[in-house]
Structure 1
Amino acid sequence: MNNRYSNKDVNVYAWFREASEKGDAYAQFNLALMYKRGRGVNRNDDAAFIWMRLSALQGIAFAQNHLGAMYYNGTGTKPDDTEAIFWFRMAARQGDASAQQNLGLMYRKGRGVPRSDATALTWFCRAAEQGVASAQALLGEAYAQGLGTKRNFQLALAWFRKAALQGDATAQLNLGLMYRRGHGVLQSDTQAVAWYRQAAAQGMAAAQRHLGVAYAEGRGVAVDLERACSWLRRAAEQGDTDAQFNLGVMLSNGYGTRKDDVLAFDWYRRAATAGHMLAQYNLGGMYAQGRGVARDPAEALVWYRRAADQGAANAQFNVGVIYANGRGVPKDDARAVAWYRNAAEQGDASAQNNLGVMYANGHGVPRNDAEAVRWYRKAAEQGHPLAQYNLGGMYAGGRGVERDPVLSYMWISLAAEAGDETACNNRKLIERKLTREEIGSAELMTRRWRDAHRA
């Protein structure tokens, strides 16, 4: 035994040890805790497990719940969900609230038993009615999300409030989110921030992130980018990937802090490595542009591809551009088309325009003017200037559509108004070939399109 323990702890250990060896169940439980926590004796999970099991076998509910947790976590024994369920159930049936909550979690996760949100709800309810704040928070989540029951924001709000007033950080955050979204309560960003702040003060990373975003966007508080950075940094340092991404954005743009691409790159990398899609996309951009890191087209492709594989349309578009231009990889028009199509089908206007270009020129696909027009139109209707110019060119030449100088003038005018210099020059050339009536008709169509797409 080590002299770093107080004499009191050593004496308590000795008393519990003697009583435990005589078969006292409560002494066995307490002795197990001393081994588990390293109080009065060197920490020893194996010994803790032995004494906890002896106490549990004598029917002590506290010990049964702790033993279940030891099987669940593999503390002092091999992980065994079936044994964990058995002991949690034994304690839960005796009314142990912590065991009831743990049993509910096993059913929610489907560990050791078939997954059942309804059964989980039953056990959460029993623990919550005994006043266990964490169980009340879990019950609130079940009602908020409709897990094992019909969604009921009023009941969710009531249980979140009970737990939040007991200081449960998860409930405080969720209560803030209820106010933010107006679920079961009058929407109030001010109230949302008040609850975020309580959870954030307890060190909860997600609450710190939400509070940081609130300061960045001025929701419920005055805009304060320095405070936004401060809260985002606290959450990011705890491993919150959304906070790491947002902090990267702040550093990359110099919002509330000194602009620092090297630090921005580091935070993006941390989030990206953990699988954060937007961070992966931004990290690809940093490699592509040589911001915060040496320019590396091959690494840019790696990270764009990871985001693209998760369904990020802008990343899919960039992967297409890389293959179309042969940046860091052999030029491959067929692959470019495939990636453009993935993004285009998600509504990415730049990808739709580029896919139109590939069809118009027969790059990576057989030339097909009608398909080119179809994709140009999709992008043009979203206000993409280059697609509007390209669509205008198709109408001017009668490619994929019937030749129509008036429609050509309309689409090229829209591109010109958006600042496309080539469209400005070509509009003047087309205008010389149109009658005054045709120009008037095209201008009317242009105004109507603008009015219809003003939003």
Structure 2
Amino acid sequence: MPLPLLLSIFLLTIPQANPEASTPAPEVVAPESETDVTVDHTKLIAELQAKAEKGDAKAAFDLASFYHEEKNEKFIEWTKKAAELGNPDAENIYAFMLSGGIGFPKNEAEGFNYYLRAAKKGQPDAQASVGDEYLLGKLVQKDEKEALRWYQLAADQNQATAINNIGSFYLNGQGGLKKDEQKAMEYFVRAAFLDSAMAQNTVAINYGTGQGVEKNMPEAFAWMWIAASGDDPNAQENILHLAKEITYEQFLQAQKRIQKIIALQKEGKQEPPICPRPSVNDDQAGQKLAEEFQSQLSKAQKGDIQAQYQVAQAYALGKGVKQNFQEAFPWCQKAAESGLAEAQFSLAQTYRIGDDFVQPNPPEAVRWYKKAAEQKNIESLYALGIIYDSGDGVEKDEAKSLAYYREAADLGHAQAQHNLATYYFSRADKEPSSRELMFKYYTLAAKQMHARSMMALGVSYFVMETSPDKVEGLAWMMAAVQCFAYKKDLVDKFKDQESPEDVAKARERATQIISQIMKQK
């Protein structure tokens, strides 16, 4: 069963080594002389070409680097030539291009051969990619120990994603390593300081849940903010939830911590995890979860509706029992048929999305959403708003969509409030009543720390002639940046148009906004 059963940000699956995301596109660094206006590039290129044609691998790679911005035929030609001549950086790039079918016909086997050539020469990104392949077992026989060996070679050269993957190996007890949450956290933190967004997300989640470290909400928020500021979509989503979990005092601590972490990163320094958690006997903890599951199962078998739903969640998560989505579904269905709104919503989500055991069935999804909505289940009301807005499984109906959005919004659903506000925004120029409703719903959502609404409310203060309060508008946008690292570049453009005095007023007002919102939670 998909995880609509689990609506909390911290009910997440155990991080896994992720080969698909492990090694980013290789970075090509042009020769220093390329940006030196005193250098005659025509002459330099001719000299490099002459050397390359005589078999100089570095010259061939430098020549390719001159064309890296355009990614044109010359870049492709000289990258291949440099790789064939044995330049390890070129081999890594050529492998990436072959594996993805970029500039050449896709050939994953040949791509792996070039990754291996570069890896054996010590190219760290290639070493990480070879580790990925041994973990996947797509082109070679799957071998976690061999994957770990290559990851460790790359990690010795501070390759961030390899370090992150070693953390996952410790967390899950892979590659012959003994399961060790604290050791895993050490690797995750190390990768996070090296700017791995995946590691930064994991570190934030671990601090938020107390996995491998003592629970520390300011530290959790700080790391999630840093990941979000790098435009990581997972972090940008996660931080919206995390901001609702912390107090204003914790938020202020997190702001100081963010500045400290950024300063350390600029200096190329790191810190170990804060407050490692005392050792926990995994066998005892597992036994306790298993006993709790058996207790819930016994109640569920006797017809306890809440217990039936808890059993479904346990199977979906693998909590106290082996993960089994096929077993989760019928227990969720039992609870839904008995009238439990949360189970009805989860069942609707399953029919809407589908999984390995249940085919997508939009009409059935709508039926269960409506049953839950009749009980004022806020997520089901919002889902129906989306469905009638998009026409997914039903005939598109704007009036019904707005009605469901409005009902969810009036019950406090921030995204429904945002969607309503956006609808009214499109009509605000011609309808004064729409302008008022736009501000109403953007404000309601913004006061729930909905990042997009905070930003949209700020922009609305700028563009709506009836409310040209630019200080208030800038304040809401600055608050969104401070809380969520959201659209900082856009806010900077607005700031540049205002006087230093107004920017200072807006900054003071932003602090006030954040304080008021967080203290009213």
Which protein is bigger by CA-based radius of gyration? 1
Higher RCO by CA contacts (8 Å cutoff, separation 6 or greater) = 2
